[in-house]
Amino acid sequence: MQSRSYSSLSEKIIGYECTIRVENIDQIIEKVKINGGEILLPKSEIPNAGQIAKFLDTEGNLICALQCF
């Protein structure tokens, strides 16, 4: 099993890292903040793909939001 070369968490992730395609990443980031989630990776660009943000929901699940170009 290969480990990920990048993780927003200090602990090793074993399991599924969910990435959801969204229409407006800025709106998602605001909703996460308003509803008690924690932003782990602020909006960042993936060259030739889009913008991504990573966060923990209120139950500690790692979720990624991706707005494609």
Mean per-residue pLDDT, 5-25? 77
Alpha-carbon separation of residue 9 from 6, 22, 24 (angstroms):
9, 22, 24
**Domain presence at residue 51:** yes
Give the dihedral of Cα atoms 48, 53, 65, 40; nearest 10 deg.
150
**Domain of 49?**
25-68
**Domain presence at residue 1:** no
Alpha-carbon separation of residue 8 from 5, 11, 28, 69 (angstroms):
10, 9, 18, 23
Report the number of distinct structural domains present in the chain.
1
Q: Is the alpha carbon torsion for 5, 36, 50, 64 positive or negative? A: positive
**Domain presence at residue 30:** yes
- Give percent above pLDDT 90 in the chain: 67
User: What does the pLDDT look like over 40-64, one tens digit per residue?
Assistant: 999 999 999 999 999 999 988 889 9
**Domain presence at residue 53:** yes
**Domain presence at residue 8:** no
3-state DSSP assignment of residue 28 = helix
